[in-house]
Amino acid sequence: MPETPGASPAETPTRGNALPATGRSQVTARTVVVVLMTALAVLGGLYLLYALQQIVRWLLIAVFLAVALTPPVNWLHQRRVPRGLAISMVYLALLVLAACLGALVLPPLIAQGRDLVSSLVETIRQPGGLTGAVDDLARQYGLAGVLTSLRSQASALPSRLSLAAGPLLQVTRGIVGSVTALISIVLISFFLLLDGRSFVNAGVSLVAPAYQPRLRRLLTQASGAVYGYISGNLTISLIAGVSAFIAMAILHVHYAVALALVVALLDLIPLVGATLGAVIVVLVGWFVSPLTAGLLAAYFALYQQVENNVLQPLVYGRSVRLHPLAIFLAVLVGAELLGILGALLAIPIAEILRLVGAEWLAGRRGQAVAGAAGQHQERAHAPRPAP
């Protein structure tokens, strides 16, 4: 079939098995290089974050600590106290508070903790206790020989450990690492408190001027959410520990100071911490009497209702507006990524993400409304057709 004169190559039909002619490729060598370099930069950044994950954790904790200490530092600075001196005063107040709490709680805590461990060990070793139950199960399933061998090895374990320098080295390394982490976090938070406004202004200046007011508003809301959550969580944990101590003192439960401190520390962990503390206290109360354990269980069940329905809405206020399902998922993800630290920081981070999403949606709705208004004005000012 002859070709039509003047027909373009794209309109020319194919003959036989010949492929149609294709246009020039739009992917240039420069585009390929840019894509490869971008991918390498992203991979390099991810690897750097993985290699420096310990420093990233310190920086994250320091940022949250600086945000939590910003209101008292600003309060002192507004009263003509130099900012560096104001930060030092806040740190000194925290140090004095920790020293006072340690002087009040640490001596009875050490004594009661030692007595608690000794009491539990003696209870387990009593005839008919946990050791007797294990012996009965071993004899029932023919594992008495294995149990005897394990006991002999366990009894020889202290003499073997005395010859090993590995555990001592690990403990020393852990202590040195903890001190290094504490000093690093304090120094980083100090510099963030000292020049935090300059860092924020430098970061905001990198954004287009039209978006700077929105970014500043978002940062203000995020800092308020972090401060509200941290202060609220500490307040609720203090209330949980004090109220648990009062309940155990009324019921004449031994080791009330140590157990109350355990309840307060575990209550810092969202969702599951208060339940874990209650289970520990109830188990210890069981060794006093079943009635004491039942009364403690009833007390913690009542306190949980008060904390969930009264204290948390009252203390947190408007700092956290998350659905319980979102809180649960955030805590799970944080615990999976960073352990206990991730569980503690999951809720404020999730609240910040919620604020970012809300601000983005508000911006989109504003653009949509502005576009609809512009179209309405165009229709209103458009010339009408003559009749």
Encoded amino acid at 361, one letter: L
User: Which pLDDT tens digits describe the chain residue by residue (387 residues)?
Assistant: 455 555 454 445 555 555 555 555 566 778 888 888 988 888 888 888 888 888 888 888 888 888 888 888 888 988 888 988 989 999 999 889 888 877 776 777 677 667 666 666 666 555 555 555 555 555 655 555 555 665 555 555 445 444 444 554 565 566 667 778 888 888 888 888 888 788 888 888 888 888 888 888 888 888 888 888 888 888 888 899 999 999 988 988 877 888 888 888 888 887 778 888 888 888 888 877 888 889 999 999 999 888 888 887 777 666 677 777 787 888 888 878 777 777 778 888 888 888 888 878 877 776 665 566 666 566 665 555 555
Measured CA to CA in angstroms, residue 149 lies from 33, 145, 146, 155, 156 at distances of: 66, 6, 5, 10, 11
Q: What is the pLDDT of residue 163?
A: 46
Q: What is the pLDDT of residue 342?
A: 78
Q: What is the DSSP letter of 255?
A: S
Angle among Cα 323, 325, 326 to the nearest 5 degrees reads 65
Q: What is the pLDDT of residue 126?
A: 59
Q: What is the pLDDT of residue 386?
A: 54
The residue assigned the tokens 């008060």 is 306
Helix ranges, the chain (H): 29-51, 53-78, 83-125, 130-140, 144-155, 157-162, 166-205, 212-250, 256-267, 273-288, 290-306, 312-316, 324-338, 340-381
Cβ proximity of 189 and 62 under 8 Å:
yes
Q: What is the pLDDT of residue 243?
A: 92
Cβ proximity of 228 and 319 under 8 Å:
yes
- How far is the first Cα of the chain from the last one, in angstroms, to the nearest whole number? 56
Q: What is the pLDDT of residue 198?
A: 84
Rounded to whole angstroms, the Cα distance separating 365 from 367 reads 5
Encoded amino acid at 240, one letter: A
Q: What is the pLDDT of residue 125?
A: 59
Query: Which token pair is 327?
Result: 């809180």
Q: What is the pLDDT of residue 164?
A: 44
Number of Cβ within 10 Å of residue 198's Cβ equals: 9
Entry pTM? 0.63
